[in-house]
């Protein structure tokens, strides 16, 4: 009895901490985006890329906690599939992570050229072209995660979806080929 109560207290404590961290993360990343948008002097290529990192963080912070609702879906059909595709599984946070990784890669390349080849402007992103780079980053991120959006189908009998099935199959194949 005491053990189950202590687990419940720990669960509530961790849930409160997680909610505070999510709110703090959304607030801080929103401040970055608002600052870059409002203040013209902050609209450098680096800051625009950092604002894109903040946007992908917000996307992840908003949708990642919704994975805890997976246990509430107990039916087959269109609504369960939509919940699986949009809210429950890792699809939207995966798109955010892909955009984050691509943006950080672009930022690293941009900083490399700024440090190693500071006088060659043709290689570096310009303020006019960085917006196209950000759009390209999000398009590539969506394309990379598109198969999970298309093929995710919730199966109430097995409590699985495309994502968990694919992860387990890839893990099994990786173990076989080692």
**Over the stretch 121-175, which tens digit does the pLDDT of each residue have?**
666 788 888 999 999 999 999 999 888 777 766 555 555 554 444 444 444 444 4
pLDDT at 174: 43
- Cα separation of 64 and 93, whole Å? 6
The count of domains in the chain is 1
Q: Which range marks the domain in which residue 36 is found?
A: 1-176
**Over the stretch 16-25, which tens digit does the pLDDT of each residue have?**
898 899 999 9
**Over the stretch 98-108, which tens digit does the pLDDT of each residue have?**
999 999 999 99
Supply the CATH number for residue 86's domain: 1.20.1070.10
This prediction has a pTM of: 0.73
More confident residue, 145 or 29: 29
Percent of the chain with pLDDT over 90: 36
155: phi then psi, degrees, rounded to nearest 5: -120, 105
């Amino acid at each position: 009895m005491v053990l189950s109560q202590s687990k419940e207290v720990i669960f509530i404590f961790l849930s409160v901490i997680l909610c505070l961290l999510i709110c703090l993360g959304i607030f801080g990343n929103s401040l970055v985006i608002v600052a870059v948008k409002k203040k013209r002097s902050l609209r450098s290529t680096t800051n625009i890329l950092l604002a894109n990192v903040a946007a992908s963080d917000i996307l992840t912070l908003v949708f990642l906690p919704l994975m805890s609702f997976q246990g509430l879906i107990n039916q087959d059909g269109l609504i369960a599939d939509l919940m699986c595709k949009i809210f429950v599984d890792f699809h939207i946070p995966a798109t955010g992570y892909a955009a984050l990784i691509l943006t950080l890669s672009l930022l690293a390349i941009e900083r490399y050229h700024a440090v190693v080849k500071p006088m060659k402007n043709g290689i570096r992103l310009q303020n006019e072209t960085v917006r196209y780079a950000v759009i390209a980053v999000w398009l590539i991120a969506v394309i990379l995660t598109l198969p999970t959006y298309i093929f995710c189908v919730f199966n109430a009998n097995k409590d699985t979806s495309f994502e968990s099935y694919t992860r387990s199959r890839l893990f099994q194949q990786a173990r076989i080929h080692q």
